[in-house]
Amino acid sequence: MQKPQIKAFIIHLERATERRAQVNELISQLPVPAEIITAVDAKQLSDADAAQAYQTRLHKPYYPFRLSRNEIACFLSHRKTWQTIIDQNLDAALVLEDDVALTADFPAAFKAATEIAKQGGLVRLPFRSDRETGAVVLEQGTTKVIRPVPVGLGMVAQLITRDAAQALLKATEKFDRPVDTFAQMNWVTGLQPLSVVPGGVQEISANLGGSTLKQNRSLAHKLHRELMRPFYRHSVKTYSRKSGKA
């Protein structure tokens, strides 16, 4: 049997020079060949390009907040990576953001992800292992793969098959919410994402100068988000449960 063609892609913003050392560290540690994907820079994203990709209220439940330019650029960076999976005709790719570090659990998590990838197409390696629950579909020692309901947030690390990349690209020619919240919507993407627990990664943006997505918000904006967030999350749970029964 031919060995699957798997690479790693690390999404890295060129001007985030304080993260380059961590990118190099990842490249040296990963068990598969790794390539840097130059992230779309929000500061260079034109209004026309942003408007072409982003449109509000496309899918239910409607996302209650407008996306920032940074969030649009982040989504486009992931789409660029999905397209690269297809362009390079890979069987799958491990997609990492540049603020992730590997832990001692990573080898077992990556092994489980590669073995189960075809079942879900998108296998998450979450950095918060206590945030997701679901039916266990694979168990190898202390490592489990679950079918989470709902799918968790965060896109720091995931294994994505070529078929899943094609499905994600088709579903996101226009998008209306951040990339991680979009990935939750299996009723839109047609995918059934899986999660490895423990995921074998940790998010270390605080050690690298903070998140590249952070933005200044007014007090009124912050209050609005705090009020609307639980309603939106409840709606996602409802849709996820219904989709799981379909």
Please report the domains of the chain, with CATH numbers, ordered by start residue: 6-245 (3.90.550.10)
Inter-axis angle of helices 69-87 and 162-171, nearest 10 = 140
DSSP 75-133: HHHHHHHHHHHHHTT-SEEEEEETTEEE-TTHHHHHHHHHHHHHHHSEEE--S-TTS--
Rg (CA), the chain: 17
Question: For residues 50 and 81, what is the distance between their CA atoms, to the nearest angstrom?
Answer: 18
What would the mean pLDDT of 12-40 be, rounded to a whole number?
Answer: 97
CB 224 within 8 A of CB 141: no
Over residues 166-222, the pLDDT tens digits come to 999 999 999 999 999 999 999 999 999 999 999 999 999 998 876 655 566 667 667
Over residues 116-160, the pLDDT tens digits come to 998 889 999 999 988 899 999 999 999 999 999 999 999 999 999
Tokens of 65: 């907040």
Which pTM does this prediction carry?
0.92
pLDDT, the chain, mean: 93
